Amino acid sequence: MITMYGIPNCDTIKKARRWLEANAINYEFHDYKKSGVPEKDLNQWIKQIGWETLLNRRGTTWRKLDDATKKNINEASAIKVILDNPSIIKRPVLVNGKTILIGFNEAEYKKIFRQLIISPGCVTDQ
């Protein structure tokens, strides 16, 4: 099962969703705003790709954090910040089995999903 985690009104999420839909790839969408970030999933992502990769230090949510939090960020504090402020995660987080993709890069999506893509608009076996 493919799951995309993010916020529906994010432009990058919209691009990724359009790409998946155009290539007839079924996925489940997990909305951070409605459902938060599952701590178990977050811990797995951090274990696999690292908290630094997940943390969006360029966004508004990061800029709103107090200076002491930003200066002293480490794995434990990053987990707390992410759980309290899911918008701080780079988007989308796309999970396909053990593969985790952060952000949207069409070439990476093509590489990961090439076995599912027959041709745009065709239905795939899933």
* pLDDT over threshold 90, residue 115: no
The reported pTM is 0.85
CATH code at position 40: 3.40.30.10
**Per-residue confidence (pLDDT) for residue 11, from 0 to 100:** 96
Indicate whether 120 belongs to any domain: no
Indicate whether 121 belongs to any domain: no
Number of domains in the chain: 1
* pLDDT over threshold 50, residue 79: yes
* pLDDT over threshold 50, residue 124: no
Domain assignment of residue 37, given as a range: 2-113
Beta bridge partners of 90: none
Indicate whether 59 belongs to any domain: yes
| Alpha helices in 1-126, H assignment, sequence order | 11-22, 32-35, 39-49, 51-54, 60-64, 67-71, 75-84, 106-113
Indicate whether 35 belongs to any domain: yes
Indicate whether 14 belongs to any domain: yes
**Per-residue confidence (pLDDT) for residue 116, from 0 to 100:** 65
- Mean pLDDT (the chain, rounded): 90
Q: Which residues are known catalytic residues?
A: 10
